[in-house]
Structure 1
Amino acid sequence: MRKIISGTALVLTAALLTGCGSGDGPSTADKAANASVKPKPDSGSAEVKHEVTLEVLGHGNSQVYYNLSTNKFEKVKLPWRKTETITLTTEAEKRIGTTVTVVPGSVYNADGTLRAAACVITVDGKKVADNKGGKSNKMCRYDLK
């Protein structure tokens, strides 16, 4: 029963986090991070490829919801890492981008309370998003262009 409640709580938290925000668009930090990663040309083709790594840090087991090339929800052992090459092929994908996200599950603090695990998104070797070591209540999100 506890696992069902924990899983339900994580899914609800993910849903709330994806719906939360000021509605003012990306922050200045997000805009700066998006501007700092340049597309890698693929030897003459019209495709643009990026190596994207999602990480959730901490110890023990947790649950992770992420959107990379597909949406997925997994129970994982921390620290956890997932790397994929994302290929942008259409002009719309190159201009508007595609969003990659990771919603970390909860981990225990030293005092036994729960907090969000730390998450990081790296694109082409450069860190572009994090949740300040789990201190922020936001998921890790990046618009890949």
Structure 2
Amino acid sequence: MRKTITTTALVLTAALLTGCGGNPDDPKPAAKPSSKPSDSAKGDGPVSHQVTLEVQGAGSALVYYNLDTNKGEQVTLPWKKTATITFTTEAEKKVGTVVSVVPGSVQAADGTLKAAPCVITVDGKKVADNKSANDKDPASTMCKYALK
């Protein structure tokens, strides 16, 4: 049993050294050129989007947002934050990122607290808000958008 284990260990060690280029003095084979053109050869450069988060209303509120950073801050309403989001790799372009804003509460006309209205704009076009179907009250507490 001991001989079998020792022999197996020696064979595995020899195989690993041979397969991993056990001799550092041997020249390495030249890398084969990729048959797939690189991103720069295709002319695909970075993709940028100007993203604006807005929270409407009056007074002050605590706002949490995910834009160029994740942050929460006490702000005076109306509030606006704009950033340019740039995707440089194919993976970033394919997967994208989520931008979001969670507005704080503001006092409604009836005295109750409700989520402040929020809007997300990408490249000048409104892509998300938290208005309900009747366009009077915020339907939820956050606005989010999957940016690609």
With the length of structure 2 as denominator, give the TM-score of the two structures: 0.66
Gaps of 5+ in 1: 1-43
Q: What is the Cα deviation at residue 139 of structure 1?
A: 1.1
User: Map of 1:1-145 to 2, 5 A cutoff?
Assistant: 46-132=45-131, 134-145=137-148
Q: What is the Cα deviation at residue 111 of structure 1?
A: 2.1
Gaps of 5+ in 2: 1-42
Q: What one-letter code is carried by the residue in structure 2 that aligns with 1:143? A: A
Q: What one-letter code is carried by the residue in structure 1 that aligns with 2:112? A: T
Q: What is the Cα deviation at residue 135 of structure 1?
A: 2.1
Cα distance per residue 1:15-66 (max 9 Å; x no partner): xxxxxxxxxxxxxxxxxxxxxxxxxxxxx66210000000000000001000
Cα distance per residue 1:68-104 (max 9 Å; x no partner): 0110001000000000111111211101111000000
Higher gyration radius (CA): 2
Counterpart CA distance in 2 for 1:109 and 1:142 is 26
Counterpart CA distance in 2 for 1:107 and 1:76 is 12
Aligned residues of 2:63 and 2:101 also touching (Cα < 8 A): yes
- How many percent identity over aligned positions? 68
Q: Secondary structure at the match of 1:136?
A: coil
Counterpart CA distance in 2 for 1:144 and 1:78 is 25
Q: What is the Cα deviation at residue 134 of structure 1?
A: 4.7
The number of residues matched between the two structures is: 102
Kindly report structure 1 stretches of 4+ aligned residues shifted beyond 3 Å.
none
Q: Secondary structure at the match of 2:94?
A: helix
Aligned residues of 2:65 and 2:101 also touching (Cα < 8 A): yes
Q: 1:93 to 1:124 in 2, by over 3 A?
A: same
Q: 1:95 to 1:120 in 2, by over 3 A?
A: same
